[in-house]
Amino acid sequence: MPLPEGHAYAATMARLMRIFGSQFEGGTPPAVVATAIWHAAQHPDPPLHIPVGPDADVWVEARERLSADDWVSTMAEPDDERFIGRLADACGIDTLDGPSLYARLAPVRTLARDYTAAWCSQDASRVASLFEEDGTLTINDGVTARGRAAIAQDAQGFMTAFPDLVVTLDRLEPRGDAVRYHWTLTGTNTGPGGTGKPVRVSGHEAWTLGAGGLIARSTGAFDAADYARQLAG
């Protein structure tokens, strides 16, 4: 049965379809979707819903973040600009009215791949080169490394401690005007004075990018207590 003209539900669905339509321009490629489905199919208890790509992730997070009443209230917002703004706030990004997040994150994905490879290279200067000249790196609220020389020194500390250091990129997550880079580090602590123990720890860095497209500020965090336990064996 068709809805009457001007019905609130019909208007809301029309606006959602407009947003979805804009996000499909440059959206998550079919190959990425197919890979996610393949991995899910290998799982002994595959989930019924599989968000794929940053666009799907933010919608799922928004729905989980809002109460049922807030969700209904947002969907019923009569003003188009406020409607988009409220959804964007719930998703934790600047706007939903434009190209897909997958498309918007394209330059950042290249940077993230280069950054990941640099950490695996045992060349600390490669890590530092992906920061702006006056960029900063702070890990677990510790002392901030400012400038490429200091950042290279911090990176070298990990590389020396773990000669077989491997960092993998888990995912990128848009956060307002920043991007969160999620990573997993594995390695064996066989550097000078090391314990010889294997370590696997995950964490993230919140990146703010500079005008040159490099990292201007990175604020990182990981579970230091778990890291220490693994080192001790």
Q: Domain extents for the chain?
A: 8-100, 106-232
pLDDT at 18: 64
Alpha helices in 135-193 (DSSP H): 148-161
Q: Is 106-232 a CATH 3.10.450.50 domain?
A: yes
| Distance (Å, whole) CA 133 – CA 64 | 39
**Helix-helix angle 80-91:53-65, to 10 degrees:** 90
Report helix, strand and coil shares of the chain as percent, to nearest 5.
45, 25, 30
| Structure confidence at residue 53 as a pLDDT band (50, 70, 90) | low
| Strands of the chain, DSSP E | 131-139, 145-146, 166-175, 178-188, 198-209, 215-222
pLDDT score of 87 more than 90 = no
pLDDT at 131: 98
Is the pTM for the entire model greater than 0.75?
no
pLDDT at 187: 97
Q: What is the pLDDT of residues 88-114, one digit of tens each?
A: 677 665 555 555 555 666 778 889 999
- Out of 55-69, 89-103, 136-150, the most confident range is 136-150
pLDDT at 220: 95
C-alpha Rg value of the chain to the nearest Å: 21
| Distance (Å, whole) CA 116 – CA 52 | 21
| Distance (Å, whole) CA 189 – CA 97 | 47
More confident residue, 97 or 29: 29
